Amino acid sequence: MIKENLSVVRQTIPAEVRLIAVSKTKPVSDIEEAYNAGQRVFGENKALEMRDKYAVLPKDIEWHFIGHLQTNKIKYIAPFVSLIHSIDSLNVLQAVDKEAAKNGRIIDCLLQFHIAKEETKFGLALNEAEDILTSDEYKSLTHIRICGVMGMATNTDDEALVRNEFRELRNIFNTLKDKHFAGSTFFKEISMGMSEDYPIAVKEGATMVRVGSKIFGKRIYAEVND
Ligand SMILES: *Cc1c(COP(=O)(O)O)cnc(C)c1O
């Protein structure tokens, strides 16, 4: 089914939008099935799970970290992670920079914004992001690169609300681009949209969508944020 699901999802996403197949909690065999169907970009939300999957899977996979990142676990993913979608503090960014330096890498990151009505979702407000970007601490970092923004909309059937939240994220992107990344070619990503709302996200300007259950089926295990 994974192959068929992938094909359906791909057909509804324009070619220039990247599809991140969110494989969290799913076994390696499921990822292999998606890989054999041509998928090369996968998203995980736990550092150790991602490290263990990286170890046994083909090395041309791009691994994207999409979960809340604990500073003491960055070391497990720093050697290979392609993009961290979920930077929500200067502290985490500094810790990523440190681990990236140890590995002789520059790690691409997105700033995660809180756009949903739910209290539980992580993320920055615009003013908090600007405080980070104008700080001396941020300016001294040499092994990270901020490539754009990420956000999760409210989990609701209210399409107008979801659309407004995605618009808000795009406005945040535009503001940051103008004020802090003008002339930068790498600040270009808007990561938004999941299984239930990615078509809206694409219409509102997503450059990346993160789709899990629509590809791999419902997740069975309870999710914890680590
Ligand atoms: C789990 C998760 C997804 C994918 O969710 P689905 O609804 O299964 O598509 C996308 N983004 C983040 C941050 C996630 O944690």
Closest to 85 (Cα-Cα) out of 120, 48, 124: 124
| Greater model confidence, 167 or 118 | 167
Cα(64) to ligand 1 centroid in Å equals 12
The mean pLDDT of 141-156, rounded to a whole number, is 97
Q: pLDDT for 63-115, tens place per residue? A: 999 999 999 999 999 999 999 999 999 999 999 999 999 999 999 999 999 99
pLDDT attached to residue 223:
53
Tell which atom from ligand 1 comes closest to the C-alpha of 198. Answer: 9
Helix (H, G, I), strand (E, B) or coil at 5: helix
Helix (H, G, I), strand (E, B) or coil at 181: coil
pLDDT attached to residue 226:
44
210 lines ligand 1 (CB under 6 A): yes
46 lines ligand 1 (CB under 6 A): no
The mean pLDDT of 167-191, rounded to a whole number, is 97
212 lines ligand 1 (CB under 6 A): yes
- For atom 12 of ligand 1, the residue with the nearest CA is 66
Both tokens of 4, joined, read 């068929």
- For atom 10 of ligand 1, the residue with the nearest CA is 210
